[in-house]
Structure 1
């Protein structure tokens, strides 16, 4: 009676995980979050009488779409090169577009749109930054 020996197990190939791209995305999102969190502080200072604070608010606000574009680049590297979560790239693009719209609404002084959109941008930025530092962001798709 012939017995067939089981085939040896195939060598385990480690799943490719996002590493450098994840760290780049972490740094970019954290930097963007700091700039985003400065915005309500500067607006509040302006409303309490520090008229010079609006200059900083406008400058940081004008730079936020540039930071958003860098985040889109980092998200692209994370998703495409690092095999990260797919939802991160469209979320970064939507945040970038919202920041561009926010700048336009601010300079147009359309506060009924500028303030709620700002709250949404702060919320998404905080949640995105919390997520990117979580263990879930390290897992490959």
Structure 2
């Protein structure tokens, strides 16, 4: 007796991760632009830089929750969870360095943070979406479905 085929992994956690990763990347690039504007002499940009940092911190926490959902119940890889956890710690450190006016740490960590955010963005969009439940192929009698992306064998 074979076991029933496994249900398809839900698609919504990965879609949520893609949304938060894209939002985080846009906020990180906006943060760089606001910092550059401040350094060019538009001192009002510093207040916007601070507000954007708080928004970015909120979105990175949302992404941490989305990455946990990609792992369970989404049955996805573990790397989005640990990379987002590292990004969360880096954002907290970045905000602390900014308030402490430790400019050398703030700028260096900012460069690394934007790089990490963009790495996460590319990785989130490279993860394949699970197949829709209504588009699953019929089981081959073994009780297992073909792996997504694997070639399908056609029986004659």
Runs of 4+, deviation exceeding 6 Å: none
Preserved contact between residue 18 and residue 84 of structure 1 (Cα < 8 Å): no
Preserved contact between residue 94 and residue 106 of structure 2 (Cα < 8 Å): yes
Offset of residue 58 of structure 1: 0.8
User: Partner residue of 1:132?
Assistant: 124
Structure 2: give runs of 5+ residues left out of the alignment. 131-146, 148-156
| Cα distance change of structure 1 residues 98 and 137 upon mapping to structure 2, 3 Å threshold | farther
Preserved contact between residue 22 and residue 121 of structure 2 (Cα < 8 Å): yes
Offset of residue 18 of structure 1: 4.5
Alpha carbon RMSD of aligned pairs, Å? 2.2
Q: Establish whether residue 36 from structure 1 lines up as the match of residue 32 from structure 2.
A: no
**TM-score, normalising length from structure 2?**
0.77
- After superposition, give the CA deviation of every residue in 1:39-98 in whole Å (9 maximum; x if it has no partner): 111111111111111111011112222111101000010011101111211111110111
- After superposition, give the CA deviation of every residue in 1:87-110 in whole Å (9 maximum; x if it has no partner): 211111110111011001001110
Preserved contact between residue 20 and residue 63 of structure 2 (Cα < 8 Å): yes
Structure 1: give runs of 5+ residues left out of the alignment. 1-6
How many residues were matched structurally? 132
Offset of residue 16 of structure 1: 3.1
- After superposition, give the CA deviation of every residue in 1:2-34 in whole Å (9 maximum; x if it has no partner): xxxxx9xx6883563341000001001111111
